[in-house]
């Protein structure tokens, strides 16, 4: 198949899923055309079946803001025609599904199909704003196929937007050959010079991630267990988090690493992964940690209970229940037998339920199903 993929090329989970999906589909012989305003962050090596089409948009002085949606639409139309696309796969509905719908209307006789994958904040946050809601509902209903990354997000979409359409749940995935524990590669002594336990968190440091909770949980843990906290990623909440760490007097026990490329090596140093999000439709970072044999302690929101098996691969607690999350963490950090059991169970779950081959096949089968649907 010839597939156009549009996503945010940035650090967030939706762009990672879209890019890794495209790379895997290319390996299976499909022609993959990424269409975005910048090269997707993880598109890092040449492949005969992968092509990148950059969306150019001029900012004419009359406009107070760049008009990305029409520019993206035009590029989608251009690529669909020149590359005879079978599918346009829009990852994150705003504004990608809107551009996809407009492109379909312009391409009317080319019979290209639009598939929209809902990732989270497009539904639970941004899409609910009055300025987006009607367009969100319309572009979902007009897509030829819609997937969501968790049962939670599917239900949220059906109820929040009063959608009658069938939505296919296809969860996030991880390459368990790339994301696996490599004790030798991690050089743990650099992060924990005195043999401390290593706690870790990865995110784009937006308020929804509650990274300050991670720091407050760590503050309780480090009173009971010699430990260090490694924070990976960057974003609008980072400065506030550094302030919280200084105010709690634990700044020197925390490493703010910023954005990092070699995640598997770093995750291989971790003894525990914390994800206390306010909202999380799946939790790709937690899955990546599990694949590297790191138990996860998370909040009980969104799709996280579909990923973290409570008291098997980690623990789940209410949003903001810092004391309980810290208690769970100390329990695991002071019982290596139990922690190792959780770690192995998490790896097994990643391999069995969320491995790349299994989930990419689900997307591939869904593409075929949508293409075979008779256009009414
Ligand atoms: O996690 C983020 O804030 C980035 C966001 C995105 O849209 O890039 O991630 C969403 O998509 C990921 C991939 O499907 C999911 O694993 C994340 O749970 C989801 N984020 C939220 O729902 C907050």
Lowest mean pLDDT among 170-174, 179-183, 355-359: 179-183
207 and 166 in a single domain? The answer is no
364 and 265 in a single domain? The answer is no
91 and 195 in a single domain? The answer is no
Q: How far is the CA of 4 from the centre of ligand 1 (A)?
A: 21
Ligand 1 atom nearest the C-alpha of 287 is: 16
Q: How many domains does the chain have?
A: 2
Query: What pLDDT digit, counting tens, does each position of 296-339 carry?
Result: 999 999 999 999 999 999 999 999 999 999 999 999 999 999 99
Residue of 119, 126, 233 to test ligand 1 pocket, by largest number of atoms within 8 Å of CB? 119
154 and 244 in a single domain? The answer is no
Q: How far is the CA of 337 from the centre of ligand 1 (A)?
A: 32
167 and 304 in a single domain? The answer is no
Query: Which domain covers residue 371, as residue numbers?
Result: 2-173+355-375
Does residue 180 sit within a domain? no
Query: What pLDDT digit, counting tens, does each position of 21-52 carry?
Result: 999 999 999 999 999 999 998 898 889 999 99
172 lines ligand 1 (CB under 6 A): yes
Supply the pLDDT for residue 61. 83
298 lines ligand 1 (CB under 6 A): no
Backbone angles phi, psi at 317, to 5 degrees: -140, 165
How many whole angstroms separate alpha carbon 271 and alpha carbon 199?
Answer: 6
Q: How far is the CA of 223 from the centre of ligand 1 (A)?
A: 32
Mean pLDDT computed over 66-80? 96
Q: pTM of this prediction? A: 0.96
Does residue 182 sit within a domain? no
Q: How far is the CA of 86 from the centre of ligand 1 (A)?
A: 27
Does residue 127 sit within a domain? yes
Supply the pLDDT for residue 376. 53
Residue of 5, 20, 209, 284 to test ligand 1 pocket, by largest number of atoms within 8 Å of CB? 284
347 and 359 in a single domain? The answer is no
Which CATH number belongs to the domain containing residue 91 in this structure?
3.40.50.2000
Does residue 178 sit within a domain? no
Mean pLDDT computed over 97-101? 97
Mean pLDDT computed over 88-111? 95
Does residue 179 sit within a domain? no
Lowest mean pLDDT among 33-37, 43-47, 116-120, 250-254: 43-47
Per-residue pLDDT for 216 more than 80?
yes
Whose alpha carbon is nearest atom 9 of ligand 1?
A: 13
Ligand 1 atom nearest the C-alpha of 303 is: 18
286 and 148 in a single domain? The answer is no
């Amino acid at each position: 198949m010839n597939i156009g993929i549009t996503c945010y090329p940035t650090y967030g989970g939706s762009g990672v899923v879209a890019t890794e999906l495209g790379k895997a589909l290319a390996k299976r012989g499909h022609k993959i055309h990424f269409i975005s305003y910048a090269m997707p962050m993880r598109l890092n090596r040449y492949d005969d079946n992968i092509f990148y089409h950059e969306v150019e948009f001029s900012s004419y002085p009359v406009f107070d803001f760049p008009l990305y949606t029409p520019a993206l639409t035009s590029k989608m139309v251009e690529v669909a025609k020149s590359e005879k696309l079978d599918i346009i796969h829009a990852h994150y509905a705003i504004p990608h599904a809107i551009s996809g719908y407009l492109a379909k209307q312009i391409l009317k006789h080319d019979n290209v199909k639009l598939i929209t994958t809902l990732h989270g904040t497009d539904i639970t946050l941004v899409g609910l704003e009055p300025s987006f809601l009607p367009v969100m509902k319309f572009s979902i209903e007009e897509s030829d196929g819609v997937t969501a990354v968790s049962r939670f997000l599917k239900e949220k979409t059906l109820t929040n937007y009063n959608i009658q359409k069938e939505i296919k749940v296809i969860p996030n995935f991880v390459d368990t050959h790339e994301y696996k524990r490599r004790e030798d590669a991690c050089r743990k002594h650099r992060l924990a010079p005195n043999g401390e336990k290593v706690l870790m968190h990865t995110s784009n440091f937006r308020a929804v991630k509650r990274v300050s909770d991670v720091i407050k949980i760590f503050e309780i843990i480090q009173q009971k267990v010699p430990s260090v906290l490694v924070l990976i990623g960057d974003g609008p909440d980072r400065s506030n988090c550094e302030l919280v760490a200084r105010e709690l007097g634990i700044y020197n026990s925390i490493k703010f690493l910023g954005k990092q490329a070699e995640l598997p090596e770093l995750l291989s140093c971790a003894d525990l992964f914390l994800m206390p999000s306010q909202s999380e439709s799946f939790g790709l970072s937690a899955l990546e940690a599990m694949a590297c044999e790191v138990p996860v302690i998370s909040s009980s929101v969104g799709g996280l209970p579909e990923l973290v098996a409570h008291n098997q691969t980690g623990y789940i607690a209410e949003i903001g229940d810092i004391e309980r999350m810290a208690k769970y963490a100390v329990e695991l950090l002071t019982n290596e037998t139990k922690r190792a059991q959780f770690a192995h169970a998490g790896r097994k779950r990643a391999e069995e339920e969320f491995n790349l081959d299994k989930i990419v096949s689900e997307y591939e089968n869904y593409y075929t199903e949508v293409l075979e649907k008779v256009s009414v």
